Amino acid sequence: MPKETPMVNAADVIDLPLLNRGKVREMFFLRSWLDHLLLVATDRISAFDEVLPDPIVSKGEVLTKMSNFWFWFFRDECANHLTTVDVRTYPTECKPFLDVLRDRSMIVRKHRVIPFECIVRGRLSGSFYSAFKKAEVIRQQTESPLCNKMCKNVHGFLLPADMQESEAFPEPIFTPSTKAEKGAHDENISFEIMSELLLAWMVKDHVFYQGGNEALAEDMRELCLRLYSKAYAYALERGIVIADTKFELGLTDDGRLVLVDEVLTPDSSRFWPADRVVPGKTPPSFDKQPVRDWLKAHWLDRTQPPPRLPEQIIEETSVRYAQIYHLLTS
């Protein structure tokens, strides 16, 4: 790591039945392990809900290894879908492709995936900061620990009107979003709206959860906040601030929450060097922020296909992915 040739499309080199191609990962059917799936992380990178034309060398390896680390880290907190990343244990049908599967794939157990992004934020940043800037200032007397008197209401959260970018919330907040269909954009929603939409999903897909949609929403929030807080403390000991992250959850056959997809990777999180965080400024980051920043300056018309990334941005992003992996797992 890194390898010279990036993997753009896993299905081009892995001759197994392709079930789904996401923005970054590809999912394959396993004939011999019917209750499992093969997930392969490519080197594709997405930003602003679009897959970019240029891959990031070895990115898929970092995503896989970091997720594997966090699944282990959270092993006493929550069940997860990971069965193995050891290619020596893969079924026979995978044997011809072990060289490309090594370090960038995992075999996972099938679960019913809950159709929401579970975002936890410890700092005012990203799309939440953009929404904060646009929100109107209101005067309101409230008992909220986040705000009193001069506030802004951002997706159901009353925040101090004078909060600055990168400033820490008094306590982490859970800010879910919808999972957009291909070609659409994720939409930030309030906790209450997520709970209502959970009910519709549970009825439509015949999903049972003890206590119903309200209990499921509360348990999702509690679990994600607990996982974030544990990871935040661990990272801070290593000089890293996790500004925000996205969890994805599923349900086991007996109705228990389970952690799925990726966990606390540079694709799903903002990692900042703790000694460079200054309220009012955007800190340097160990994630794909260089890509986001370049696109903001050079991709003004988002209705057009995204442009090619400069080699400098590609290399800088690849280095940052590798750096955060070693900082957090060494």
Summarised one tens digit per residue, pLDDT across range 223-232 is: 999 999 999 9
Mean pLDDT of 292-310: 92
According to the model, what pLDDT value does residue 121 have? Answer: 98
| CA atoms in the 13 A half-sphere facing the CB of 235 | 28
Helix, strand or coil, per DSSP, at residue 141: coil
Average pLDDT along the chain = 93
Predicted pLDDT of residue 143: 59
pLDDT band of 61, cuts 50, 70, 90: very high
Residue with tokens 């244990």: 89
Select from 40, 59, 53, 45 the least CA-distant residue to 2.
59
pLDDT band at 147 (very low <50, low <70, confident <90, very high): low
The CA-CA-CA angle for residues 320, 322, 327, to 5°, reads 90
pLDDT number for residue 1: 41
pLDDT of residue 88: 96
Around 215, how many Cα atoms within 13 Å sit in the side-chain half-sphere? Answer: 9
DSSP for residue 87: G
pLDDT for res 186: 79
Which of 140-144, 188-192, 263-267 is the least confident region? 140-144
pLDDT tens-place string over residues 1-20: 444 689 999 999 999 999 99
Q: Answer yes or no: are the C-beta atoms of 14 and 97 closer than 8 Å.
A: yes
Average pLDDT over residues 236-265: 96
Counting residues of the chain whose pLDDT is more than 90, the rounded percentage is 82
* pLDDT (0 to 100) of residue 5: 82
Helix (H, G, I), strand (E, B) or coil at 196: helix
pLDDT at 170: 87
Total residue count of the chain as it appears in this document = 330
Give, in degrees to the nearest 5, the angle at Cα 286 between 282 and 289. Answer: 50
Give the model confidence (pLDDT) of 94-125 as tens digits.
Answer: 999 999 999 999 999 999 999 999 999 999 99
Burial of 139 (0-12, 13-18, 19+ CB in 10 A): exposed
Look at residue 2 in the predicted model and tell me its pLDDT: 43
Answer whether residue 248 shows pLDDT above 60. Answer: yes
Contact 291, 306 (CB under 8 A): no
